Structure 1
Amino acid sequence: MASSPAAATGPPPESTESVSDVERDAAATGVTSSSSEGPVDSVLLDEKKGSVEENPQPTPAEEEPEAGRTKFQTALIVFALCLALFLAALDVTIIATIMPTIAEQFNSSEGYVWVGTSFLLGNAAFIPTWGKISDIFGRKPILLAAVAIFWIGSLLCAISNTMGMLIASRAVQGVGAGGIIVLPNICVSDLFSIRNRGIYFGIFGMVWAIASALGPVLGGVFTSQVSWRWCFYINLPLSGAGFIILFFVLNLHNPRTPLKEGLLAIDWMGSLLIIGGTLMFLFGLEFGGVQYPWSSATVLCLIIFGLATIVLFAAWEWRFAKYPLMPVRMFSHRTSVASFLTAFLHALVFMSGSYWLPLYFQGVLRADSLMSGVYLLPFVLSLSFVSAAIGIFIKKTGNYKIPINAGLLTAVLGFGLFIDLGARANWAKIIIYQIIAGVGIGPNFQAPLIALQTTIEPRDIGSATSSFGFIRQLGTSTSVVIGGVIFNNEMERQQARLQREIGPELANRLSGSNAAGNVNLIASLDGPDGDTAREAYWFALRTMYIVYTAFAFLAFLVSLFIRQVNLSKEHQEHKTGLKTLAGKTSASKNEGLGKVTDAKGAA
């Protein structure tokens, strides 16, 4: 939510958890009382209709939302944040087109899914901790630490000589990427008003999409021309340059928290519970129906204990954590809950395109790793353009609900059309269907985050934004696992037919968890054997996209519960540190609420 200078109209309440929905919506509009820079911005609030009528008289804060910074300084900060985000985004998709080559080189088809999943798991599990640590120690040093960990992980990936080492190194890389993904959004939330954040979130969405577009292409180029290891070597100079730029240009509040006090303030138990619960749950999904039957004790225990641990995490955050990773008060508003769920489902659907479409191009259309990246461009470029355009739309109009709802409805159409792609190349369908899906996915990278921030207190900006990133990345990780489970199980179900038509030896190499790792084998098959194998691949992928289309429709239904409120251009830069977390500074006490009146004008 927007943080704006506000003079206290009375002593603040001892607890901000009881702030009503109406007050939170007023906070989202940036309603303020007097400040040293401008007149009081009076507000009329209709409690029955939940509408806010603002005084149209502009204030200096509205004219200069980034007062104290030149446009050049602002541009440098945004560029540095985009560079950091580009690195993490690149490594999400660059792996998609090189995995068949890696699986073949290490002779480990079962590691196909886990090279991608380990990165995403490390990414998702640590995001809440990154956000809270940045609340304690400040944004800049923690963002630099995340970039450094990402650099180390990239180096380890590049020199890996076994599949196990590569998977472990990708997990390290993912831990660093988790900080890189969430902290730029938190920094923008600290620096800019909620009305103006849309344009910067839109830029981040565009950067993510461009990296998604370049990732598969670069992966294909490096794999075919040099070595797949260069997909990780390239991160070393880029992340090094990003570290240097961020060190010199990123100027944010530094609370100078003593190391010992800061370490004691971290919610270590909460971090352990959420990381452990997430890993157990996703391990259970990955093993189910592939390495173990769904009814096996291993799968059931992993899923049940994973969910139980997540419940324990929620209880710990509610009752015991002094500085919780995810304050329970963030989930007290209908819009915040709907925004979190929308982010999860949106990420789940988005990943089905960027991660699994290359498998369709390579396995069904017989494309090499380079061309599969090129074939993915209609999806990611349309996504990129729409993400940037929606950021401008939100800044100009202040409306975030229309892009959310309309985008997800379009995504239902786009991903539903993927079911019609077929086992034979039809390039008109391939291009048009991807564009429709990209147009639907694009608006929902930034708009649900803005909706969430309209419901929260200023001191919870870091926790809410990191929780949003965690839930989004959990959706991404879950998508890869769910897609892999569906694909592997569908290939296993076709084993009897494949053994009859192409023989036991080839059929076994295309069974269950072996199928995705042997995509190059299918490309080498000609005649009836090749047609049969490609049709089996397509049938498995078609079933996968039926499920993802259902998830897209569910996301649309959930998004209908998001409420639209007015967005303000007023802002005061948020301060980090233990005093703010403890509510001992004015910045953390109902900042942005200012003077709220009822419909009759009574305070």
Structure 2
Amino acid sequence: MYTRSATEEPLLSPTSIAEPSSAVAPIASLLKAQEYIKKPSTIGLEPQDISSRRRIFIIVFLYCSTFFYGLDSTVVATLATPVSSSFKQLPRAAWLNSAYLLSVACFTPLYGKLADIAGRRIAILTGLSLFSIGSLLCGLSTSMNMLIAARLIQGMGGGGAALCSNVILSDIISLRSRGLFTGIDTVCWSTGAGLGAVYGGILEDTIGWRYAFIFQVPFLGLIMCCLAVSVNYSVPGQQESMKAVLHRLDWGGAGCLVIGLGSLVFSIALKTNEDMPWDHPAVYGTLALALAMLALFWCVETYWAKEPVIRLGLLKHKTRALIAVSIFLTNSAKISLHLFYPMFLQIVRYNSASFAGLHLVPLTFASACGGIAFGWLLRKTGKYYYILIVCACLHMIPTATLIGLSSKSWEFVTWIVLIPQRFGASGYDTGTVVALLATISRADIAVLTSLRFVTFSTGQVIGMALSSAVQQAVVASELQKELVGAGAEGMISSVRRNATAILDLPEEYQAGAIRAYATSLHGVYLLDAVLFFLSLCFISQVKEYSLSEQPTRSEESAEMDTYKLAPTEDEDDDDTAVEDEESVAQTA
């Protein structure tokens, strides 16, 4: 069968097809019909074919969904104590966050492959449906166990819907503009997160905490309806038959991944939430199961799966691997930084919970400004390497200050210390998204986004475990130095279980206990500084590609849209895996 080369002139130019003469009109019609015959699985619109109005419509409602993810994150953080107290189970309050993190880590990676096989619309509606059902069940919960189960369902949908939102934005937005739109997405999340605490607090004080969850459901339903109507394009390889979708899913790899990550999160939750020692059978047993299942997952995805849930081979590319490691290290430090800073304010600085929460308000504005600023800069210059370096350096600045903070430090510093980190974090997230997309074809967008979310979630889990282990080890050591004499063991045990027990200590011991906590938190901030520095080292080694405004057609297939890549002069042979796409498949 004859195939026209890339350098040949097309039989008919695009303009001649658009305005056919009477002589060639029948030929043009025949060729157009042949185009649809060649692409039976992608009949309908492709991402680049949708109108500007529909594109804006999709983006607006994706941003609306992002707003609710941010809102929910701080609503739960604010309501965890009163909610668990209403069930008389305050010690289990931490499970409300751990349950959500558990299901996000386990199920989010599966949505990437689902979006490729079943289509973007089915995938995001599945995620939003589960998130909505989970929100409704949270509001209707009659026990703490039911509430934790509802949070698991929320996480199964919320993380997946967020991943699909990223995939859809990458489908319909050019790569160079992707940074700016990611910045706006950050603004929406930050706005929701900033209002969540206020929203939850007002409802808790007036009509009850349940309505903080229930009132979200109608708005989520409206978003689902609008996206169901507007996200109507197809992607290569998409299946219409549910039987074909179920047949193509990698059930073995998915099962290993869910059990492996679930066991890992559960092991860490038992250690941190239930204060079990590492040598407890439940802790090391689930940890061993996690390692075994993750090893099996690697074997399944590498050797046996026909269509892997996550194509681990993507990490053979040097730049992708460097970015993935940097994302892992950065999120390990970020989760630690933001978990323990409120503890520092409340224990060391004697702040109330509400006043400590107010210190996080400036961070919302910093995050929004950083997302917009770096997104605009990336779109204007088309360069992301130096943005990543600057943002990685901004991550490190607060840790140096936090290590020196004490109960006597200037109050103003406690309000601004984290602003550089949060400002840089938005630019870093934007830059890494674009840097990863610049190394792949459109066909791999969903799979690579899944890989990024796995790296992100695993980094948070490991970071939480490392920082908790450091804090607990240091505070135990320091308390033994500060609290001596009769009854010291009982005081140490009481203070470690509940920091507010410091107020019940004899006055001569209170200052020593506070110093012990301050030293333990300084140890956590030192760990964060090391992780941020390692992240900077890895991200500084990535290779940069220039970005084109519009996607081009792939040399491999006329059906595969991919971003045009132009390696910089210093790009080495490792990056030849990136396809330098040219338009070679014009339809005649």
The TM-score by the shorter chain falls in which range? 0.7 to 0.9
- 1:450-599 aligned at under 5 Å gives the runs 450-493=434-477, 496=480, 497=482, 507-511=492-496, 514-515=497-498, 531=511, 534-571=514-551, 586-588=558-560, 592=564, 593-595=580-582
Q: Which amino acid aligns with 1:586?
A: A
Residue 476 of structure 1, CA deviation? 2.6
8 Å contact kept, 1:325–1:463? yes
* Equivalent residue in structure 1 for 2:61, among 72, 80, 88: 80
Matched, 1:351 2:332: no
Aligned to 1:283: 266
- 1:205-244 aligned at under 5 Å gives the runs 205-224=186-205, 227-244=208-225
8 Å contact kept, 1:96–1:355? no
Q: Which amino acid aligns with 2:422?
A: G
Matched, 1:182 2:167: no
* Equivalent residue in structure 2 for 1:122, among 87, 103, 112: 103
8 Å contact kept, 1:149–1:172? yes
Residue 147 of structure 1, CA deviation? 0.9
- 1:124-163 aligned at under 5 Å gives the runs 124-163=105-144
* Number of aligned residues: 530
8 Å contact kept, 2:194–2:361? yes
Residue 556 of structure 1, CA deviation? 0.8
SS of residue paired to 1:566: strand
Q: Which amino acid aligns with 2:255?
A: L
Residue 70 of structure 1, CA deviation? 5.2
Change in Cα spacing, 1:189 to 1:494, as seen in structure 2 (3 Å) is same
Aligned to 1:93: 74
Aligned to 1:248: 229
Residue 294 of structure 1, CA deviation? 2.8
Q: Which amino acid aligns with 1:125?
A: C
Change in Cα spacing, 1:117 to 1:407, as seen in structure 2 (3 Å) is same
Residue 75 of structure 1, CA deviation? 2.6
Q: Which amino acid aligns with 2:258?
A: I
Q: Which amino acid aligns with 2:119?
A: G
* Equivalent residue in structure 2 for 1:441, among 412, 416, 425: 425
Deviations 1:139-190 (A, max 9, x none): 1122112111111111222233433332222111111111122111100111
8 Å contact kept, 1:153–1:170? yes
SS of residue paired to 1:562: coil
Q: Which amino acid aligns with 1:195?
A: R
Whole-Å Cα distance in 2 between the matches of residues 230 and 368 of structure 1? 25
Question: Which segment is superposed worse, 565-574 or 448-457?
Answer: 565-574
Residue 249 of structure 1, CA deviation? 3.3
Q: Which amino acid aligns with 1:510?
A: V
Residue 491 of structure 1, CA deviation? 4.3
8 Å contact kept, 2:268–2:283? yes
Matched, 1:261 2:244: yes
Change in Cα spacing, 1:67 to 1:190, as seen in structure 2 (3 Å) is closer
Q: CA RMSD in A?
A: 3.5
SS of residue paired to 1:322: coil
Whole-Å Cα distance in 2 between the matches of residues 552 and 156 of structure 1? 38
Matched, 1:360 2:332: no
Whole-Å Cα distance in 2 between the matches of residues 166 and 78 of structure 1? 32
Given the two structures, how large is their TM-score scaled by the length of structure 1?
Answer: 0.78
8 Å contact kept, 2:67–2:189? yes
Whole-Å Cα distance in 2 between the matches of residues 508 and 481 of structure 1? 21
Whole-Å Cα distance in 2 between the matches of residues 105 and 539 of structure 1? 34
- 1:286-435 aligned at under 5 Å gives the runs 286-288=269-271, 291-424=275-408, 426-435=410-419
Change in Cα spacing, 1:157 to 1:535, as seen in structure 2 (3 Å) is farther
Residue 138 of structure 1, CA deviation? 0.9
SS of residue paired to 1:446: helix
Q: Which amino acid aligns with 2:109?
A: P
Residue 523 of structure 1, CA deviation? 7.8
* Equivalent residue in structure 1 for 2:178, among 180, 192, 197: 197
Unaligned runs of 5+ in 1: 1-6, 12-33, 39-64, 575-582, 598-603
SS of residue paired to 2:78: coil
Change in Cα spacing, 1:148 to 1:425, as seen in structure 2 (3 Å) is farther
Aligned to 1:44: none
Question: Which segment is superposed worse, 306-315 or 527-536?
Answer: 527-536
Q: Which amino acid aligns with 1:545?
A: Y
Deviations 1:369-406 (A, max 9, x none): 44333211222321221112111111111111111111
Change in Cα spacing, 1:540 to 1:571, as seen in structure 2 (3 Å) is same
Change in Cα spacing, 1:499 to 1:266, as seen in structure 2 (3 Å) is farther
Whole-Å Cα distance in 1 between the matches of residues 83 and 472 of structure 2? 19
Q: Which amino acid aligns with 2:558?
A: S
Change in Cα spacing, 1:250 to 1:371, as seen in structure 2 (3 Å) is farther
SS of residue paired to 2:522: helix
Residue 212 of structure 1, CA deviation? 3.0
Whole-Å Cα distance in 2 between the matches of residues 288 and 423 of structure 1? 29
Unaligned runs of 5+ in 2: 17-45, 565-579
Question: Which segment is superposed worse, 251-260 or 332-341?
Answer: 251-260
8 Å contact kept, 2:553–2:560? no
Question: Which segment is superposed worse, 268-277 or 73-82?
Answer: 73-82
Residue 104 of structure 1, CA deviation? 4.2
Deviations 1:270-327 (A, max 9, x none): 1111111112223333445874433455443433332232122122111111111111
Aligned to 2:154: 173
Residue 503 of structure 1, CA deviation? 7.1
8 Å contact kept, 2:68–2:189? no
Aligned to 2:23: none
Whole-Å Cα distance in 1 between the matches of residues 518 and 487 of structure 2? 16
Structure that is richer in helix per residue: 2
Larger radius of gyration: 2
Q: Which amino acid aligns with 1:134?
A: A
Question: Which segment is superposed worse, 471-480 or 142-151?
Answer: 471-480
Whole-Å Cα distance in 2 between the matches of residues 195 and 263 of structure 1? 35
Q: Relative contact order (C-alpha < 8 Å, sep 6+): which is higher?
A: 1
Whole-Å Cα distance in 1 between the matches of residues 87 and 4 of structure 2? 64
Deviations 1:33-78 (A, max 9, x none): x99489xxxxxxxxxxxxxxxxxxxxxxxxxx99755554333211
Change in Cα spacing, 1:270 to 1:394, as seen in structure 2 (3 Å) is same
8 Å contact kept, 2:138–2:150? yes
Residue 535 of structure 1, CA deviation? 4.1
Change in Cα spacing, 1:185 to 1:379, as seen in structure 2 (3 Å) is same
SS of residue paired to 1:98: helix
Residue 416 of structure 1, CA deviation? 2.8
Aligned to 1:26: none
Change in Cα spacing, 1:218 to 1:544, as seen in structure 2 (3 Å) is farther
Residue 588 of structure 1, CA deviation? 3.6
Q: Which amino acid aligns with 1:237?
A: P
